[in-house]
Structure 1
């Protein structure tokens, strides 16, 4: 669910695609975070929660716009893993008209293998699983889709990617897209970077997330303490968020709970048998987590925007008067952590035995426990404050290799 970004930049700035990666550049200012807008709050629709921090265009290049694939692989100890032959599906609303082109630019910049329609690696379909007609474009959701596609590429560069675009940001359309994604041959994991408030109708839609042999992940949200659906469904792995930074420890990285990550006790979803925390009688969110803080966010390439590109477009984006991006951006939100975890499931190659989000609970030794940070005030405190063992904002922790998945 949750998208946040930093630094819309002019396409073509920075090193040429494939150039050696350098350390992310320091930023000289801290501009305000602006909302993204994938469906206005209060519209009654499901939405991805976009937030962005704009920065000087000169910093917007593949090696200074956030965490790169090599960073994520190192932080989560995923070196030497391979998901070849497996497909990760992304479910979002509306069309990203530049999805394939922008995906190609991202992968080329980091020396990842091409993933195109022509070579069979990439496929984009509507909520019925058909190549056409595609839904109308929405530049807020297009930014979300670029983030999702790039995170699958970063974590599992040999995986195939299926992008399923729902006709609208509502439960009916997105549920149909979920079913189409899970029914597609080769799909082992489905990521959902969107959500909405729990109500009396959401439990009725839960079966759309119950697909044996397919690991389904859902973002926990990026508005701090509080529960969203479908993260609260017992059939998904609810993915919270962290701040991820380099450190001089044995791991080389440190993580704390991100203040924007969603968490809490569901109001209407029953507690699954594999959850045993005592402070919530119903389903608790989250299960696991990964990087989500936009201040320590990931590099993404996106050029789908409502202003046509160019310097004037950058200005409109900077003032929140246009949607989308114009090149390299640094993004965050649990929109990043959900596709990361879905891709780790694909790398693990174990989803044939998975029917829910229960697997990490039996393999906590293969997770990095996150023990500090908070996303709000609550009682009992573990629902909003990280600590040893299980907690709401980060769940059981973050990937330490693929053993937890």
Structure 2
């Protein structure tokens, strides 16, 4: 997730994506899959040059648009299916849709088509319209379609905005954009969001090995997160997409490391699973640890070398150091989520399949917005509550899908041994994935 430049370090988003399907002259056509770039998840997307979306969903009646949704197991999911799999649809029956709350999404550079893409996404899936409030504290960097780094971040923006909205469709969306993905610029954008208390929850779909971030910036980041927590702001971050590994600080290889900002004890770190659910109805079947060696991708997890074990983790693991992830969410590439992205350089209104723990952080942010709505106020840092719920086996099983199979070993040019999923918390999938209809009401009344 990190590359080093002479001017300083650069944070990479924690996501990966594949060109999937688009409607061409009314027919569903598969698109070529990309290569995964060495040293990170910067996508190289293969897309049919004249592919375009020409159809829309007609209401919220379970309509399925793409062939990958009806394979066994499902090869992709739309909002209806993910909402059903994790119980978000049941919350909607009680009027929980995020209204009155604000989700802050921190990203870098920009996507000039994000409002159009969200509008198209909403029309495609029958979601309510929403406005993306773009905030660029350092000024909006002009978009360079020929810069692969900027294009990759545009894809990240697409995923973050559309899928936070899919979970909390009436929540306000504040997209705070750093002028670049240098650590100092990302931190400055986050500081603006915290100082101005822009929203109730902040989603951060990026990271790098703790050892690679400048120590002074790490300390400043930690102080900022403490400030956010005191204001009742919930902080979320993706745990990473190379399993137990992170790119080395010079970007030439991988080593065993955990990702910041996910490891900060004020943050809820989101790892990855492979969801097996019905691609038409969304009926939940099972989950396993996200690990797709063909893509050199797996759910981030491991142990901090900087932060001691926080009080909320004392009864969960015995390393005496902060451990991640705290929770997980579907992050599969084959079995990923669909999003509309027009700034890829491959054409307008294309539908892509996205994978990675980047998909989980904004969706957990959506869940927090639902809890904030139910509470009529901010729920604040949720880690204490999440881990307290795991102390009773009965309660834990009621609110989480406990993921007990697989591991997050990194399989790339080097192999970095990972951690196995077990009963309860583990460094592969954390506490597991949410049964949202049961967990969100508890988050709303806790603290």
Task: Give me the TM-score of the superposition, normalised by structure 1.
Answer: 0.79
> Which of the residues 257, 271, 286 maps onto 1:254?
286
Contact 1:124 1:163 in 2 (8 A): yes
1:136 paired residue number: 142
Give the Cα–Cα distance (whole angstroms) in 2 for the partners of residues 184 and 258 of structure 1.
Answer: 36
| Structure 1 position 360, deviation (Å) | 1.2
The CA RMSD over aligned residues, in Å, is 3.2
Which structure has the highest strand share of the two? 2
> Which of the residues 281, 286, 295 maps onto 2:320?
281
Contact 1:195 1:228 in 2 (8 A): yes
CA separation of 1:55/1:203 partners in 2, compared to 1, >3 Å: closer, same or farther?
Answer: same
> Which of the residues 51, 68, 83 maps onto 1:73?
83
> Which of the residues 428, 434, 437 maps onto 1:393?
428
Contact 2:242 2:300 in 1 (8 A): yes
2:234 pairs with 1:208: no
2:4 paired residue number: none
| Structure 1 position 209, deviation (Å) | 2.4
| Post-superposition CA distance 1:206-240 (Å, at most 9, x none) | 22223131111100110121311111111110000
Structure 2 unmatched runs, 5+: 1-12, 57-64, 69-75, 144-149, 246-257, 292-297, 391-395, 411-416
Runs of 4+ in 1 over 6 A off after TM superposition: 55-62
2:35 is paired with a residue whose SS is strand
2:337 pairs with 1:298: yes
CA separation of 1:127/1:392 partners in 2, compared to 1, >3 Å: closer, same or farther?
Answer: farther
1:299 is paired with a residue whose SS is strand
Contact 1:127 1:173 in 2 (8 A): no
Contact 2:81 2:278 in 1 (8 A): no
CA separation of 1:186/1:95 partners in 2, compared to 1, >3 Å: closer, same or farther?
Answer: closer
1:135 is paired with a residue whose SS is coil
2:239 paired residue number: 220
2:36 paired residue number: 35
CA separation of 1:359/1:52 partners in 2, compared to 1, >3 Å: closer, same or farther?
Answer: farther
2:367 is paired with a residue whose SS is helix
1:108 is paired with a residue whose SS is helix
| Structure 1 position 303, deviation (Å) | 0.8
1:147 paired residue number: 159
2:353 is paired with a residue whose SS is strand
CA separation of 1:183/1:96 partners in 2, compared to 1, >3 Å: closer, same or farther?
Answer: same
1:159 paired residue number: 171
| Structure 1 position 262, deviation (Å) | 0.7
